[in-house]
Amino acid sequence: MLQMVSHGLIGASLFFLVGATYDRTHTLIPGRNGRRGQKKMPKIFAMFTACSLASLALPGMSGFVAELMVFVGFATSDAYDQTFKIIVITLMAVGVILTPIYLLSMLREIFYGPENQELVEHEVLVDAEPREVFIIASLLIPIIGIGFYPKLITQMYDSTTEQVTAQLQESFAIAAAEKETATLSKQALLKAPEISSNL
Protein backbone atom coordinates (compact mmCIF):
# COMPACT_ATOMS: atom_id res chain seq x y z
CA MET A 1 0.00 0.00 0.00
CA LEU A 2 2.79 2.42 0.90
CA GLN A 3 4.58 1.61 -2.37
CA MET A 4 1.43 2.43 -4.35
CA VAL A 5 1.02 5.80 -2.61
CA SER A 6 4.72 6.60 -3.01
CA HIS A 7 4.78 5.60 -6.68
CA GLY A 8 1.69 7.71 -7.34
CA LEU A 9 3.30 10.83 -5.86
CA ILE A 10 6.69 10.35 -7.53
CA GLY A 11 5.24 9.30 -10.89
CA ALA A 12 2.90 12.32 -10.93
CA SER A 13 5.78 14.70 -10.21
CA LEU A 14 7.98 13.26 -12.97
CA PHE A 15 5.16 13.28 -15.54
CA PHE A 16 4.39 16.89 -14.63
CA LEU A 17 8.04 17.90 -15.07
CA VAL A 18 8.23 16.15 -18.44
CA GLY A 19 5.20 18.19 -19.51
CA ALA A 20 6.72 21.42 -18.18
CA THR A 21 9.99 20.74 -20.01
CA TYR A 22 8.16 19.89 -23.22
CA ASP A 23 6.23 23.19 -23.04
CA ARG A 24 9.56 25.02 -23.17
CA THR A 25 11.61 22.90 -25.56
CA HIS A 26 8.88 21.33 -27.76
CA THR A 27 10.84 18.08 -27.94
CA LEU A 28 10.61 14.74 -26.13
CA ILE A 29 14.10 13.63 -27.18
CA PRO A 30 16.30 14.02 -24.06
CA GLY A 31 19.56 14.83 -25.88
CA ARG A 32 18.00 17.83 -27.66
CA ASN A 33 17.96 20.05 -24.54
CA GLY A 34 21.68 20.15 -23.91
CA ARG A 35 23.57 22.24 -21.37
CA ARG A 36 21.25 25.21 -21.82
CA GLY A 37 18.56 23.32 -19.91
CA GLN A 38 20.26 23.47 -16.53
CA LYS A 39 21.64 26.98 -17.12
CA LYS A 40 18.43 28.60 -18.34
CA MET A 41 16.01 26.52 -16.20
CA PRO A 42 17.74 25.96 -12.83
CA LYS A 43 14.48 25.54 -10.89
CA ILE A 44 13.17 22.89 -13.28
CA PHE A 45 16.59 21.22 -13.16
CA ALA A 46 16.51 21.20 -9.32
CA MET A 47 12.95 19.85 -9.21
CA PHE A 48 13.73 17.20 -11.85
CA THR A 49 16.79 16.11 -9.84
CA ALA A 50 14.85 15.94 -6.54
CA CYS A 51 12.01 13.90 -8.08
CA SER A 52 14.47 11.58 -9.84
CA LEU A 53 16.31 10.98 -6.56
CA ALA A 54 12.95 10.20 -4.93
CA SER A 55 12.23 7.72 -7.74
CA LEU A 56 15.54 5.91 -7.29
CA ALA A 57 14.66 5.43 -3.58
CA LEU A 58 17.06 7.88 -1.96
CA PRO A 59 16.97 7.45 1.86
CA GLY A 60 14.77 10.11 3.44
CA MET A 61 12.17 9.91 0.68
CA SER A 62 9.03 7.78 0.41
CA GLY A 63 10.45 5.53 -2.32
CA PHE A 64 13.17 4.23 0.02
CA VAL A 65 10.78 3.38 2.87
CA ALA A 66 8.25 1.78 0.52
CA GLU A 67 10.80 -0.38 -1.29
CA LEU A 68 12.44 -1.38 1.99
CA MET A 69 9.06 -2.48 3.40
CA VAL A 70 8.29 -4.53 0.28
CA PHE A 71 11.79 -6.08 0.33
CA VAL A 72 11.77 -6.99 4.05
CA GLY A 73 8.13 -8.13 3.95
CA PHE A 74 8.78 -10.48 1.06
CA ALA A 75 12.07 -11.78 2.50
CA THR A 76 10.51 -12.62 5.89
CA SER A 77 7.21 -14.02 4.59
CA ASP A 78 6.40 -17.68 5.17
CA ALA A 79 3.96 -17.76 2.24
CA TYR A 80 6.64 -18.46 -0.38
CA ASP A 81 9.15 -21.22 -1.08
CA GLN A 82 12.80 -20.42 -0.24
CA THR A 83 13.98 -20.89 -3.85
CA PHE A 84 11.27 -18.58 -5.17
CA LYS A 85 12.20 -15.95 -2.56
CA ILE A 86 15.88 -16.09 -3.58
CA ILE A 87 15.01 -15.64 -7.27
CA VAL A 88 12.67 -12.69 -6.62
CA ILE A 89 15.07 -10.99 -4.17
CA THR A 90 17.85 -11.30 -6.76
CA LEU A 91 15.64 -9.67 -9.40
CA MET A 92 14.72 -6.93 -6.92
CA ALA A 93 18.41 -6.28 -6.23
CA VAL A 94 19.11 -6.00 -9.98
CA GLY A 95 16.25 -3.47 -10.22
CA VAL A 96 17.73 -1.46 -7.33
CA ILE A 97 21.03 -1.28 -9.26
CA LEU A 98 19.50 -0.46 -12.67
CA THR A 99 17.11 2.27 -11.45
CA PRO A 100 19.82 4.85 -10.56
CA ILE A 101 21.61 4.08 -13.83
CA TYR A 102 18.66 4.93 -16.07
CA LEU A 103 17.40 7.88 -13.95
CA LEU A 104 20.81 9.56 -13.70
CA SER A 105 21.41 8.85 -17.40
CA MET A 106 18.10 10.60 -18.13
CA LEU A 107 19.20 13.66 -16.14
CA ARG A 108 22.55 13.72 -17.91
CA GLU A 109 20.89 13.48 -21.32
CA ILE A 110 18.33 16.21 -20.58
CA PHE A 111 20.53 18.74 -18.81
CA TYR A 112 24.18 17.93 -19.53
CA GLY A 113 24.18 16.87 -23.18
CA PRO A 114 25.92 18.78 -25.98
CA GLU A 115 24.66 22.31 -26.50
CA ASN A 116 21.78 22.48 -28.98
CA GLN A 117 22.14 25.71 -31.01
CA GLU A 118 18.80 25.23 -32.77
CA LEU A 119 17.02 25.06 -29.42
CA VAL A 120 18.81 28.19 -28.17
CA GLU A 121 17.92 30.13 -31.33
CA HIS A 122 14.27 29.09 -31.70
CA GLU A 123 12.96 28.46 -28.18
CA VAL A 124 12.62 30.78 -25.18
CA LEU A 125 13.74 28.70 -22.20
CA VAL A 126 11.99 30.32 -19.24
CA ASP A 127 12.42 28.88 -15.77
CA ALA A 128 9.64 27.37 -13.64
CA GLU A 129 6.71 29.63 -12.87
CA PRO A 130 5.29 29.93 -9.32
CA ARG A 131 2.34 27.61 -10.07
CA GLU A 132 4.74 24.88 -11.27
CA VAL A 133 6.92 25.27 -8.18
CA PHE A 134 3.77 25.07 -6.02
CA ILE A 135 2.57 21.87 -7.72
CA ILE A 136 5.94 20.13 -7.35
CA ALA A 137 6.26 21.34 -3.74
CA SER A 138 2.78 19.90 -3.05
CA LEU A 139 4.08 16.53 -4.24
CA LEU A 140 7.59 16.71 -2.76
CA ILE A 141 6.45 17.65 0.77
CA PRO A 142 4.48 14.38 1.27
CA ILE A 143 7.26 12.41 -0.48
CA ILE A 144 9.83 13.70 2.03
CA GLY A 145 7.34 13.60 4.93
CA ILE A 146 6.55 9.93 4.32
CA GLY A 147 10.29 9.23 3.94
CA PHE A 148 11.00 10.55 7.44
CA TYR A 149 7.74 9.46 9.09
CA PRO A 150 6.05 6.56 7.23
CA LYS A 151 3.29 6.34 9.86
CA LEU A 152 1.66 9.32 8.13
CA ILE A 153 0.34 6.78 5.64
CA THR A 154 0.61 3.40 7.37
CA GLN A 155 -1.61 4.42 10.30
CA MET A 156 -4.36 5.36 7.82
CA TYR A 157 -4.68 1.84 6.48
CA ASP A 158 -3.49 -0.22 9.49
CA SER A 159 -6.94 -0.35 11.14
CA THR A 160 -8.63 -1.25 7.84
CA THR A 161 -6.05 -3.95 7.15
CA GLU A 162 -6.57 -5.41 10.64
CA GLN A 163 -10.35 -5.46 10.11
CA VAL A 164 -10.00 -7.19 6.74
CA THR A 165 -7.56 -9.73 8.22
CA ALA A 166 -9.94 -10.45 11.12
CA GLN A 167 -12.87 -10.94 8.71
CA LEU A 168 -10.78 -13.28 6.53
CA GLN A 169 -9.69 -15.35 9.52
CA GLU A 170 -13.30 -15.59 10.68
CA SER A 171 -14.44 -16.60 7.18
CA PHE A 172 -11.72 -19.26 6.96
CA ALA A 173 -12.70 -20.62 10.39
CA ILE A 174 -16.39 -20.82 9.33
CA ALA A 175 -15.46 -22.46 6.01
CA ALA A 176 -13.25 -25.01 7.79
CA ALA A 177 -16.02 -25.80 10.30
CA GLU A 178 -18.58 -26.22 7.51
CA LYS A 179 -16.20 -28.48 5.57
CA GLU A 180 -15.61 -30.62 8.67
CA THR A 181 -19.39 -30.85 9.29
CA ALA A 182 -19.97 -31.86 5.67
CA THR A 183 -17.24 -34.52 5.89
CA LEU A 184 -18.69 -35.94 9.11
CA SER A 185 -22.20 -36.01 7.59
CA LYS A 186 -20.89 -37.80 4.52
CA GLN A 187 -19.09 -40.37 6.65
CA ALA A 188 -22.23 -40.92 8.76
CA LEU A 189 -24.32 -41.51 5.62
CA LEU A 190 -21.81 -44.04 4.30
CA LYS A 191 -21.84 -45.95 7.60
CA ALA A 192 -25.67 -45.91 7.97
CA PRO A 193 -27.30 -49.36 7.52
CA GLU A 194 -29.27 -49.89 4.34
CA ILE A 195 -33.07 -49.76 4.77
CA SER A 196 -34.79 -52.87 3.49
CA SER A 197 -36.97 -52.29 0.42
CA ASN A 198 -39.60 -54.64 1.93
CA LEU A 199 -40.46 -52.08 4.58
The string of pLDDT tens digits covering residues 141-154 is 999 999 999 988 88
pLDDT of residue 51: 94
pLDDT higher than 80, residue 186: no
Say if CB 25 and CB 125 are below 8 A apart: yes
User: Residue 195 — pLDDT band, cuts 50, 70, 90?
Assistant: low
Q: Angle at CA 69, nearest 5°, toward 145 and 51?
A: 45
| Range picked from 36-40, 130-134, 187-191 for highest mean pLDDT | 130-134
So what's the pLDDT on residue 170?
86
* Mean pLDDT, residues 183-188 taken together: 71
pLDDT for the residue 32: 62
pLDDT of 61 higher than 80: yes
Alpha helices in the chain (DSSP H): 2-25, 36-40, 42-55, 62-76, 82-111, 117-122, 130-148, 151-191
Cα 36 to Cα 34: distance, rounded to the nearest angstrom:
5
CB 44 within 8 A of CB 25: no
Higher pLDDT, 104 or 165: 104
Residue 188's pLDDT is: 67
d(CA 155, CA 157): 6
Cβ atoms of 119 and 36 within 8 Å: the answer is yes
Instruction: Give the integer Cα–Cα distance in Å for 107 and 124.
Output: 20
Model-level pTM? Answer: 0.74
- Around Cβ 161, how many Cβ atoms within 10 Å? 11
What does the pLDDT look like over 104-152, one tens digit per residue?
888 888 887 666 666 656 566 778 889 999 999 999 999 999 999 998 8
The mean pLDDT value for 49-67 works out to: 92
Long-range pairs, 9-12, Cβ under 8 A, ≥24: 9/62, 9/139, 9/142, 9/143, 9/146, 10/51, 10/54, 10/55, 10/62, 10/63, 10/139, 10/143, 11/55, 12/139
Dihedral sign for Cα atoms in the order 46, 110, 10, 75: negative
**For residue 181, which amino acid is it?**
T
Check residue 33 and give its pLDDT. 61
Per-residue pLDDT at 35 exceeds 60? no
**What does 1-42 look like in DSSP terms, one character per residue?**
-HHHHHHHHHHHHHHHHHHHHHHHH----GGGT-THHHHH-H
